[in-house]
């Protein structure tokens, strides 16, 4: 059964069409990669799913129910967590408090919220840094903090917006392991990524956007050999 | 037990303070300090923890003061009922203000609150039938001639405020307030209903400020719009109290209130400086923002370092 259905979603900002009739669905338990050149509308699509923008046209369904008129906090309450491309740590809070604040969504009291937070921190390997103010964290840990915070809301669907950008190869591998573990917990994931290596090794399916339109959808292998995609996006990289 | 010892000592000290025969003038200053520390704590809840900087806290103070005043002048009740009445009145009033202003973010919210405070002052000056206009409201007799009981009552109110703020900040509300302050979009995507929690912060803050206002009416025995809706003496000084003492700290507003009130009195009582007191406040604020951005409580470590001998640093 498909967990998330995006139906003919369009989003316009004034005269600019950021998304045009994008439709696809995400099935329970899979990792779907969302790729496309800069400005293709990937983050805009996340913002529509997550509730920051209402779609101009079309609708988004989560577990069969329409969510595209809801506010971000309500959508989060229904079970969609997200991370941000430009990380948004709560700077003057410790790493632990960042995650506790998030964990209160599902917790009855502070003790339970802390338990959930500890679990999320151990899971993402941030437990040792828990008492550091989050503005003092290096980028790699900030990206993990985004994930820990999203996990603490106990999501069924996790939206990862370029969690790998700016990481060195060893940090990337670490994060790939974390994401595989998240999948192992039965959480469905939609991930925006530029690193082809990451997207090809993680994704079960890949959706390609270009100028706000979906130009291809399929397994990583199919996408790698799709001529439209190569023309729009992979281009030179194909020979490499 | 060890942790609460200093607090018990401070409380005992404050409790016996009126018994040692302080002059009525000093008692007045102490009561002012406590009133300002109460408003400061209230402002801190909204501005310091939740990050919604208000330049119009005189509005809540004034509405609280007039709640007590109007109960007396129109309904013939004791103005002390104002302490009880101000809570529901201010909660509703803050809710309405929040509904209008909290859809704005950052500087726009601050400007809206500034405007609101001024609008209320002008309104109360002109609603002569209801508020008495510029003539104000005079309580024909104050409950006590001396200051001692007023001191104990406001001390109790301030202690209650302190405990309430502490309780709120250590709970889920506190985490949510700070999350909203640090990043509203992130907070929203963590499942926090930012509009709701900002409104809660505003209602709490407004209700406490209004309570202080209602006490003020009883204590002074006279209010008029220029005093209780005063932009500088209430709204701006409240912000300074918190900035000087320490934003988002438990004791900051109290420390700030002590410094600001005593400083104001010292400057005013010096004939050569008296007229320059707003100028000096401005300079102090600039100094604080540059050197102690977290206030005296927040940057206490910095101050300690300054006074240590240079060699000890290495």
Read off the pLDDT of residues A206-222 as tens digits, 9 standing for 90 and up: 999 999 999 999 999 99
Same-domain status, A149 and A159: no
- C-alpha pair distances (Å), A149 with each of A73, A102, B76, B190: 14, 6, 56, 7
- pTM reported for the whole predicted model: 0.92
**Is residue A235 over pLDDT 80?**
no
Same-domain status, A176 and A228: yes
Same-domain status, A114 and A223: no
**Residue burial A102-134, b: 16+ Cβ < 10 Å; e: rest:** bbbbbbeebeebbebbbbbbebbebbebbeeeb
- CA-nearest of A92, A111, A127, A154 to B177 is A92
Looking at chain B, the whole-number percentage of residues with pLDDT higher than 90 is 75
For residue B309, the model assigns a pLDDT of 67
Mean pLDDT of A9-24: 94
Mean pLDDT of B237-261: 94
For residue A234, the model assigns a pLDDT of 55
Show the domain range for A176. 2-79+155-239
Contacts of A101 in chain B (CB under 8 A): 175-176, 178-179, 187, 190, 192
For residue A195, the model assigns a pLDDT of 84
Same-domain status, A115 and A219: no
ipTM: 0.91
Distance CA A133, CA B220 (A): 45
Q: What is the DSSP string of A2-46?
A: EEEEEEEEEEEETTEEEEEEEEEEEETT-EEEEE-STTSSHHHHH
Same-domain status, A16 and A65: yes
Distance CA A120, CA A103 (A): 9
For residue A137, the model assigns a pLDDT of 92
Instruction: Say whether B175 and A104 touch across the interface (CB within 8 A).
Output: yes
- CA-nearest of B86, B46, B76, B49 to B212 is B86
Mean pLDDT of A165-183: 92
Kindly give the residue spans of alpha helices, DSSP state H, lying in chain B.
5-16, 24-43, 57-75, 81-101, 106-126, 128-131, 148-170, 172-182, 184-189, 194-220, 225-228, 237-245, 252-269, 277-291, 295-298, 300-307
Same-domain status, A150 and A163: no
Contacts of A71 in chain B (CB under 8 A): 188, 193
Mean pLDDT of A46-50: 95
Interface test with B, best of A52, A53, A67, A72 (most B CBs within 10 A): A72
Q: Does A197 touch chain B (CB under 8 A)?
A: no
Distance CA B314, CA B302 (A): 15
Same-domain status, A138 and A196: no
Q: Does B167 touch chain A (CB under 8 A)?
A: no
**Is residue A19 over pLDDT 90?**
yes
For residue B94, the model assigns a pLDDT of 97
Show the domain range for B293. 5-313
Residue that finishes a domain, picked among A126, A154, A182: A154
- CATH (domain of A75): 3.40.50.300
Q: Would you say B189 and B209 are in contact if contact means Cβ atoms under 8 Å apart?
A: no
How many Cα atoms are found within 13 Å in the side-chain-facing hemisphere of B285?
Answer: 14
Instruction: Say whether A153 and B190 touch across the interface (CB within 8 A).
Output: yes
Distance CA B252, CA B245 (A): 4
CA–CA min distance A22, chain B (Å): 23
Instruction: Say whether B176 and A101 touch across the interface (CB within 8 A).
Output: yes
Q: A188-192 and A205-210: which strand pairing? A: unpaired
Q: Does A97 touch chain B (CB under 8 A)?
A: yes
CA–CA min distance B174, chain A (Å): 9
**Is residue A93 over pLDDT 80?**
yes
For residue B11, the model assigns a pLDDT of 85
Mean pLDDT of B231-248: 94
CA–CA min distance A143, chain B (Å): 13
Mean pLDDT of B21-50: 95
Q: What is the SS3 assignment for A199?
A: helix
**Is residue B86 over pLDDT 80?**
yes
Looking at chain A, the whole-number percentage of residues with pLDDT higher than 90 is 81
Same-domain status, A203 and A217: yes
Q: Does B173 touch chain A (CB under 8 A)?
A: no
**Is residue B312 over pLDDT 80?**
no
Read off the pLDDT of residues B261-286 as tens digits, 9 standing for 90 and up: 999 998 888 888 777 888 888 899 89
**Residue burial B5-44, b: 16+ Cβ < 10 Å; e: rest:** eeeeeeeeebeeebeeebeeeebbbbbbbbbbbbbbbbbb
Mean pLDDT of A106-122: 95
Residues 117-156 of A with CB under 8 A from B: 149-150, 153
- CA-nearest of A119, A115, A225, A94 to A182 is A119
Total domains, chain B: 1
**Is residue B173 over pLDDT 50?**
yes
Total domains, chain A: 2
Read off the pLDDT of residues B185-214 as tens digits, 9 standing for 90 and up: 999 999 999 999 999 999 999 999 999 999
Same-domain status, A61 and A176: yes
pLDDT band at A81 (very low <50, low <70, confident <90, very high): very high
Q: At a CB cut-off of 8 Å and minimum separation 6, what does B17 contact?
A: B30, B151
Same-domain status, A150 and A166: no
Instruction: Say whether A88 and B186 touch across the interface (CB within 8 A).
Output: yes
Distance CA B292, CA B300 (A): 9
CA–CA min distance A228, chain B (Å): 34
Same-domain status, A161 and A70: yes
Same-domain status, A205 and A131: no
Task: Dihedral sign for Cα B228, B51, B174, B113, please.
Answer: positive
CB-nearest to B190 from A74, A91, A149 is: A149
**Is residue A238 over pLDDT 50?**
no
Q: Would you say B251 and B242 are in contact if contact means Cβ atoms under 8 Å apart?
A: no
Q: Does B190 touch chain A (CB under 8 A)?
A: yes
For residue A233, the model assigns a pLDDT of 67
Mean pLDDT over each residue of chain B, to the nearest integer: 92
For residue B268, the model assigns a pLDDT of 85
- CA-nearest of A238, A166, A218, A173 to A35 is A218
> What are the φ and ψ backbone dihedral angles of A164, each rounded to 5 degrees?
-95, -10
For residue B314, the model assigns a pLDDT of 44
Q: Which residue of B has its CA nearest to A77?
A: B191
pLDDT band at B2 (very low <50, low <70, confident <90, very high): low
Instruction: Say whether A105 and B190 touch across the interface (CB within 8 A).
Output: yes
Instruction: Say whether B186 and A84 touch across the interface (CB within 8 A).
Output: yes
Q: Does B166 touch chain A (CB under 8 A)?
A: no
Q: At a CB cut-off of 8 Å and minimum separation 6, what does A82 contact?
A: A46, A50, A76, A150, A158, A159, A160, A161, B189
Mean pLDDT of A112-123: 96
- CATH (domain of B39): 1.10.3470
Residue that finishes a domain, picked among A99, A132, A154: A154
Contacts of B169 in chain A (CB under 8 A): none
Q: At a CB cut-off of 8 Å and minimum separation 6, what does A76 contact?
A: A50, A82, A105, A153, A155, B188, B189, B190, B191
For residue A239, the model assigns a pLDDT of 46
For residue B252, the model assigns a pLDDT of 95
Q: Would you say A129 and B214 are in contact if contact means Cβ atoms under 8 Å apart?
A: no
Distance CA B195, CA B176 (A): 11
Read off the pLDDT of residues B42-83 as tens digits, 9 standing for 90 and up: 999 999 999 999 999 999 999 999 999 999 999 999 999 999
Instruction: Say whether B192 and A105 touch across the interface (CB within 8 A).
Output: yes
């Amino acid at each position: 059964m498909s967990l998330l259905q995006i139906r003919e979603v369009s989003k316009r900002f004034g005269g600019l069409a950021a998304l045009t009739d994008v439709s696809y669905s995400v099935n329970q338990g899979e990792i779907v990669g969302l790729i496309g050149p800069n400005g293709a509308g990937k983050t805009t699509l996340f913002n529509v799913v997550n509730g920051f923008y209402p779609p101009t046209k079309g609708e988004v369904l989560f577990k069969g129910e329409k969510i595209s008129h809801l506010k971000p906090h309500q959508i989060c309450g229904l079970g969609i967590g997200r991370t941000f491309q430009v990380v948004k740590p709560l700077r003057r809070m410790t790493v632990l408090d960042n995650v506790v604040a998030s964990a209160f969504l599902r917790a009855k009291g502070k003790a339970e919220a802390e338990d959930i937070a500890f679990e999320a921190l151990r899971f993402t390997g941030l437990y040792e840094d828990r008492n550091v103010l989050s503005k003092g964290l290096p980028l790699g840990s900030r990206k993990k903090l985004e994930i820990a915070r999203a996990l603490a809301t106990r999501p069924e669907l996790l939206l990862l917006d370029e969690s790998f950008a700016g990481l060195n190869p060893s940090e990337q591998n670490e994060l790939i392991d974390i994401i595989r573990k998240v999948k192992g917990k039965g959480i469905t994931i939609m991930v925006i990524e530029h690193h082809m290596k990451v997207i090809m090794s993680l994704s079960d399916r890949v959706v390609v956007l270009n100028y706000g339109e979906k130009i291809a959808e399929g397994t990583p292998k199919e996408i790698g050999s799709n001529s439209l995609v190569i023309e729009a996006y992979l281009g030179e990289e194909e020979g490499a | 037990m060890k942790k609460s010892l200093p607090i018990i000592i401070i409380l005992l000290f404050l409790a016996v303070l009126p018994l040692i025969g302080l002059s009525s003038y000093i008692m007045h200053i102490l009561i002012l300090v406590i009133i300002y520390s109460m408003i400061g704590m209230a402002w801190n809840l909204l501005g310091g923890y939740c990050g919604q900087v208000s330049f119009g806290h005189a509005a809540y103070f004034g509405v609280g003061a007039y709640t007590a005043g109007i109960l007396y002048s129109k309904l013939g009740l004791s103005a002390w009922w104002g302490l009880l009445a101000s809570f529901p009145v201010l909660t509703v009033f803050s809710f309405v203000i929040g509904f209008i202003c909290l859809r704005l973010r950052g500087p726009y919210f601050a400007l809206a609150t500034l405007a609101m405070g001024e609008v209320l002052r002008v309104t109360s000056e002109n609603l002569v039938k209801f508020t008495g206009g510029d003539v104000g409201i005079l309580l024909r007799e104050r409950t006590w001639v001396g200051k001692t009981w007023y001191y104990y009552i406001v001390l109790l109110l301030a202690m209650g405020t302190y405990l309430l703020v502490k309780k709120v900040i250590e709970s889920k509300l506190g985490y949510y307030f700070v999350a909203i302050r640090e990043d509203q979009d992130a907070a929203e995507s963590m499942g926090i209903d930012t509009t709701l929690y900002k409104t809660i912060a505003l209602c709490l803050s407004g209700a406490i400020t209004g309570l202080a206002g209602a006490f003020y009416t009883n204590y002074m025995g006279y209010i008029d719009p220029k005093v209780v809706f005063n932009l500088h003496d209430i709204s701006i000084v409240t912000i300074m109290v918190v900035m000087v003492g320490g934003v988002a700290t438990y004791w900051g507003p109290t420390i700030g209130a002590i410094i600001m009130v005593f400083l104001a009195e010292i400057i005013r009582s010096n004939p050569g400086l008296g007229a320059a007191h707003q100028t000096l406040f401005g300079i102090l604020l600039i100094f604080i923002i540059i050197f102690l951005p977290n206030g005296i409580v927040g940057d206490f470590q910095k101050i300690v370092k300054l006074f240590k001998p240079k060699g000890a640093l290495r």
